[in-house]
Amino acid sequence: MIGTIVNTATIIAGTIVGTLLGRGIREKYKVGLYNALGLASLAIGLNATITHLPKSEYPVLFIVSLAVGSVVGTWLDIDGRFHRLIEKRSRASNGRSLADGLSTAILLYCIGPLSMLGPVISALQGDHTFLFTNATLDLVTATVFASTYGFGMILAAPVLFLWQGLFYVTARLSSQAVSDALMAELLIVGGLMITASGLSLLNLKDCKTLNLLPALLVPVLWFLIVHFIQ
């Protein structure tokens, strides 16, 4: 669980740094940091997709997954609900309520392809790249939050640890059921979702990445159907 431990540690470190800064971080530095992280996300996401495309047994499955996932996610309005909740919390936190800050931070830390797919890849392949990338993003986010809400934001760290730990343990227990072929498909779809996150961080295109989360279920369902047919 080294990836999750590192991710948790960066939230703790970011909270300490943000608390010491106290007066917040200038907007131009926030923009610079997120631009750098956006570029890194693009590189990591594209690399994951391109590397695993040749390993795909169903070359069009990732297209179907993204299409179906996007339709389902849009119908459920996952991205819209999430952002409305964040905006609601932000409006409610004009008085810098720690509870509001914590709830917002926990949502940002836990909901997303890096935080959800990362522990699975870590458990099954020992590859912590996704989690290390997520850790870097969370380091910046934790610093910003702590500079606004204070040291109490450190309480988000154990929540993230338990959240990612749940995905990690589940993946380890079901490792025999997850084939290399299925993992390749998940990495292709997940890589494109991380690329979409990078585009959003760079303010180039809002792909409403959270609406794509159901796409990760499509390869799983497809392989289950193929298994039972055979």
Which pLDDT tens digit goes with each residue over 114-135? 888 899 999 988 889 899 989 9
pLDDT band at 16 (very low <50, low <70, confident <90, very high): very high
Burial classification of residue 106, based on how many CB atoms lie within 10 Å of its CB (0-12 exposed, 13-18 middle, 19 or more buried): middle
- Whether 217 shows a pLDDT value over 80: the answer reads yes
- H/E/C letters for each residue in the chain? CHHHHHHHHHHHHHHHHHHHHCCCCCHHHHHHHHHHHHHHHHHHHHHHHHHHHHHCCCCCHHHHHHHHHHHHHHHHCHHHHHHHHHHHHHHHHHHCCHHHHHHHHHHHHHCCHHHHHHHHHHHHHCCCHHHHHHHHHHHHHHHHHHHHHCHHHHHHHHHHHHHHHHHHHHHHHCHHHCCHHHHHHHHHHHHHHHHHHHHHHCCCCCCCHHHHHHHHHHHHHHHHHHHHHC
Q: Which of the listed ranges 14-28, 29-43, 195-209 does the model predict with the highest average pLDDT?
A: 195-209
- Mind listing the pLDDT tens digit for each residue in 87-113? 676 555 555 566 666 777 887 788 778
- Whether 85 shows a pLDDT value over 90: the answer reads no
Share of the chain above pLDDT 90, in %: 30
| Out of 8-17, 146-155, 188-197, least confident range | 146-155
- Whether 141 shows a pLDDT value over 90: the answer reads no
For residue 229, the model assigns a pLDDT of 84
- Please state the rounded mean pLDDT for residues 18-38: 78
Share of the chain above pLDDT 70, in %: 90
pTM of the model: 0.77
- Please state the rounded mean pLDDT for residues 153-176: 87
